[in-house]
Chain A
Amino acid sequence: MKKLASVGLGLLMTAATATAQAEEVKIGMITTLSGGGSHLGVDVRDGFMLAIERSGRDDIEVLVQDDANRPDLARSLSNEFMQRDEVDILTGIIFSNLAMAVVPAAVRQGTFYISPNAGPSDLAGRMCHENYFNAAWQNNNLHEAMGAYMKTEGFERPLLLAPNYPAGTDALAGFKHRYEGEVVDEIYTQMGQTDYAAEIAQIRASDADSLFFFLPGGMGISFMKQWENSGVDIPLFGAAFSFDEIIIKAVGSAAVGTMNTSQWAYDLDNEANHAFVEAFREAYGRTPTLYASQGFDTANLILSALDKAHPDDQDAFREALREADFDSVRGEFRFGPNHHPIQDIYVREVVEGDDGQPTNRLVGIAVEDIQDIYHTQCEM
């Protein structure tokens, strides 16, 4: 037994030196691949891997693990990645509560973390870090844009609904920041809740003229299905998280006519996006969601920085990331001082597609050059 162990240790050490010599780059991806939020993680991973494949580089190794939407598991996976696999870059986390469990410790230990999705306010503000970059959005962005849009559309009594976790409170804070008016009520639900009868009854009893909600992943599907049969008849608004291609196809005709805000749309007109949507459809046989676009952009951001420096040279690599020197599928993209994007947010409407299934259609720009409100609290 002892002998076996020492042989094993020897092998491990040779393996470790071999990787060090080849100057390989190791990327650890922790993402949600099972449970109600699984299609988010699957799309981030697929978009990310598509970009890595298209780059043609064979010196990049991507290790993927499923966090099952559990903060404790995400935390121990990140420790495994950093200590056993010695990854240079971590990425992949979908949900903000998991990001809060992993990111602060990881960046403190000198690993880069590039977020393809979660953008909790704390990481953009008082807990920002030079090794943390967000290639998607700060959580509030899309909700802020919807607040602005609903204000210009003249809705006066919106009711707000979100799960009670960091991204949920960020969502409603973001909405109110740009809506600026009075809201009828704010309802918080449990994370992962599957039955919304009680909330729908509250909405019915209120005198709201519109509902703004944020229920990502499986929660949104359950809610919309129950909403359809409830007979409550006020228009629905939300960020793209509740209206991605997979959710609206699962919900069916009930989704048609709803409006949502997104930093990206598959029918957005730019060259990088045309190439991406076509390649994604060819590789995976489905239309990409915004999560896939974020995975794709995250990988391209990392690739653009790797062209200039190796992550071992931390200062040079960080500088290269800051430049964001890549063609984002969402068009213009640049980082603010807190390493969060400054970007346009679009409005999309859910319409019936050519195949009879609901799909998103780009309507216009909700807010140009949006920057998160927390960057002033960030001291890097």
Chain B
Amino acid sequence: MTLFIEQLFNGLQLGTMLFLMASGLTLVFGVMGLINLAHGSFYMVGAYATALVSAATGSFFVGLAAGITVAAVVGALVELIVVRRLYHRPHLDQVLATFALILIFSEGTRWLFGSSPLWLNPPEVLSGSVNLPGGLRYPIYRLVIIAVGIAVAVGMYFLISRTRLGMRIRAGESDREMIGALGVNIARLYTLVFAMGAALAGLAGAMVGALQSVQVGMGEPVLILAFVVIVIGGIGSIKGALYGAILVGVVDTLGRVFLPSFFGQFMSPSEAAGVGSAIAAMLIYILMAVILAFKPKGLFAAHD
């Protein structure tokens, strides 16, 4: 039972991390109608900046702040220089251009910092584990990731529903020409939304980088999951991104753990692992297919 609860926590942690990625992706798609494959690069940029600044200053938190800032700045620059020209182009052009950005970012990072991973460790105060009620021991750092993810989700909710900026974002989603006509500086709004999405991706990259390793191409596997999340949640919907991310995180984690042991009851361990992990790897795509079969626009479609 504690095993099941611990795995739920792990799923929740993966989910909240995916939410940080997916919320930026879904906002950019919802507001600007842009498919941004380079979102994973901001994740990598955030992680690299955090690792480098943490190593230089000796403080993880200074590094984290730098990582988020650098990701936001890089995001704003990318919007100003490249992405701005893509809003009126067909989706295929956007995919091509942002895919080129992935290659440029990856090769550029490899060129600057080499291809071996950088090391980034969680800060001393957040290392180790705590006892949760019910006799469960859980790493503090992963709990912090969950808390940060929830805090960001709540913050996003207030930002979108209660502030002027959020009102403009919502207006931009439903009719972008009209809010331009009403005198809102739409170009600046787009840059801001894009940089915000990049900052959230940078935050995710920095936090996960400390748990794993910081290396070239670390963003792409996460990006694929984030796309699954926004398709399940409904493109353009922050609420959908949150529910989608937690659903994907929990299903993926539980599938990975319990499918092999399920097949292990009537197969040898290595066969069970093979079959189980193959099906576990497909599980979120099966989930996506089932959801799309009943709700073709995702769980919480922003546009009807």
Residues of A within 8 A of B (CB): 33-36, 38-39, 42, 164, 169, 172, 185-190, 194-195, 197-199, 201-202, 204-205, 218, 221-222, 225-226, 228-232, 250, 252
Contacts and interface: CB of A to CB of B under 8 A. Distances in A.
Contact of B129 (A34, A188, A225, A231): A231
Interface residues of B, number: 39
B205 interface: no
Given A226-B211, A229-B128, A229-B140, 4 more contacts: A201-B3, A204-B6, A229-B122, A231-B137
Interface of B: 2-3, 6-7, 10, 13-14, 110, 115-117, 119, 121-122, 127-129, 137, 139-142, 211-213, 215-218, 253, 256-257, 260, 269-270, 273-274, 277, 281
A334 to B, nearest CB: 32
A143 to B, nearest CB: 14
Nearest to B129: A231
B129 A230 contact: yes
B217 A35 contact: yes
A169 B128 CA distance: 32
B141 A229 contact: yes
B115 A38 contact: yes
B277 to A, nearest CB: 6
A221 B274 contact: no
B273 A188 contact: yes
Contact of A35 (B128, B137, B211, B216): B216
Contacts of A39: 116
A188 B274 CA distance: 8
B10 A198 contact: yes
A205 B2 contact: yes
Contacts of B140: 229
Contacts of B142: 197
B216 A34 contact: yes
B137 A218 contact: no
Contacts of B122: 229
A197 B6 CA distance: 9
A34 B215 CA distance: 9
A231 B115 contact: no
15 contacts: A35-B217, A38-B115, A38-B116, A164-B270, A186-B270, A187-B260, A188-B260, A190-B256, A197-B10, A198-B10, A201-B3, A201-B10, A229-B139, A229-B141, A231-B139
A221 B215 CA distance: 12
Given A36-B117, A218-B117, A169 B270 contact: yes
Report the 5 A-B pairs with minimum CB-CB distance, sorted nearest first.
A188-B273, A231-B129, A34-B115, A205-B3, A186-B269
Contact of B257 (A34, A38, A186, A198): A198
Nearest to B252: A198
A222 B13 contact: no
B129 to A, nearest CB: 4
Contacts of B256: 190, 198
Contacts of A201: 3, 6-7, 10, 257
Contacts of B139: 197, 226, 229-231
A197 B13 CA distance: 10
Nearest to B130: A231
Contacts of B110: 34
Nearest to B254: A198
Contacts of A202: 3, 257
A87 to B, nearest CB: 24
A33 B216 CA distance: 12
Contacts of A35: 115, 215-217
Contacts of A232: 137
